[in-house]
C-alpha cells in the first residue's frame, strides 16, 4: 500500500506579512493513521525539502496526540524535512493520494499544473483522492474524464466560510473553499464549525477542518480495504 502525501511550499499569508504553510495536525494525524496501517508513505511538495509549517499550528493549544508523537519522532521529522519534488512523482506509482491543509495550498497547490494533473490521473485511474480542511481547495481546477469539474455533482466538504471568518482570514485568502466547491457544482455539506466531519463520494474523500484529518485518513484506508 503506497500512499502519496502532498504538502504546500507556500509560506506567505497573502500580503499580511504573516507566515503560513501546512497545518501540523493535518499532516501528523493522517501520517500516523496510514503508517500504523502499514502504508509506505512518500511526502512531496512543489519545491521539495522542508515544507513551511504554519506557526499557529505549532502553538500549545493546537497540539494533539499525533503532533506530540511527531515531535518525539526523529524518523518522521526526517521524512518531512526531505520531501521529494512534486514534479518527480506520478500517480501510477501510488495507490492513493492525501492532501493535508493549512492555508498554504490555496496559493500554490490550487494553481499548480502538476498537482492538478496528478489528481486527475489518480481520479481517472479510480484511485482514492483525499483532502482535508483547506486542501479541498486543490480541487479548484481539477477536471474529470468528462471535462467537467471533478467535484461537480459530488458530495464534498472543506473549511467552511464560518470557520474562515472565525480565524479572521476571509478577506486574506485568495478564495473561500466552501464558495469554490459550490461554484464548481459540488454538493457541499458541512458539520458544526471545528468539529470532525468527513464526506466520501466514490473515490473522493474530503474533511472539513483539522479535527477531521484523522477520520479522513481512516476513510482513505477503508477505500483501500485496509
Report how many domains make up the chain. 1
Domain with 12, as residue range(s), is: 2-223
Strands (E), the chain: 2-6, 40-45, 84-85, 96-99, 129-132, 155-156, 187-188, 198-201, 204-207
Residue 196: pLDDT band (50, 70, 90) is very high
112-124: pLDDT as tens digits = 999 999 999 999 9
pTM over 0.85, yes/no: yes
Please, are residues 41 and 141 in contact by the beta-carbon 8 Å criterion?
Answer: no
Domain holding 79: CATH number? 3.40.50.880
pLDDT of the residue at 226: 65
Amino acid at each position: 500500500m503506497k500512499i502519496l502525501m502532498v504538502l504546500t511550499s507556500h509560506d506567505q499569508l497573502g500580503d499580511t506579512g504573516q507566515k503560513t504553510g501546512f497545518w501540523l495536525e493535518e499532516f501528523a494525524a493522517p501520517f500516523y493513521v496510514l503508517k500504523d496501517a502499514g502504508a509506505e508513505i512518500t511526502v512531496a511538495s512543489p519545491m521539495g525539502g522542508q515544507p513551511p509549517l504554519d506557526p499557529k499550528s505549532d502553538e500549545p493549544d493546537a497540539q494533539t496526540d499525533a503532533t506530540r508523537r511527531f515531535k518525539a519522532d526523529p524518523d518522521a521529522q526526517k521524512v518531512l524535512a526531505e520531501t521529494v519534488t512534486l514534479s518527480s512523482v506520478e500517480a501510477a506509482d501510488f495507490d492513493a493520494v492525501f492532501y493535508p491543509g493549512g492555508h498554504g495550498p490555496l496559493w500554490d497547490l490550487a494553481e499548480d499544473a502538476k498537482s492538478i494533473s496528478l489528481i486527475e490521473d489518480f481520479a481517472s485511474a479510480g484511485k482514492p483522492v483525499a483532502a482535508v480542511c483547506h486542501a479541498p481547495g486543490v480541487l479548484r481546477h481539477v477536471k474529470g474524464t468528462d471535462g467537467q469539474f471533478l467535484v461537480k455533482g459530488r458530495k464534498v466538504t472543506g473549511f467552511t466560510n464560518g470557520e474562515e471568518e472565525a480565524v479572521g482570514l476571509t478577506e486574506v485568502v485568495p478564495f473561500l473553499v466552501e464558495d469554490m466547491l459550490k461554484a464548481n457544482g459540488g454538493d457541499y455539506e458541512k458539520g458544526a464549525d471545528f468539529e470532525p466531519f468527513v464526506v466520501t463520494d466514490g473515490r473522493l474523500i474530503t474533511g472539513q477542518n483539522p479535527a477531521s484529518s484523522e477520520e479522513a485518513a481512516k476513510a482513505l484506508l477503508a477505500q483501500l480495504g485496509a
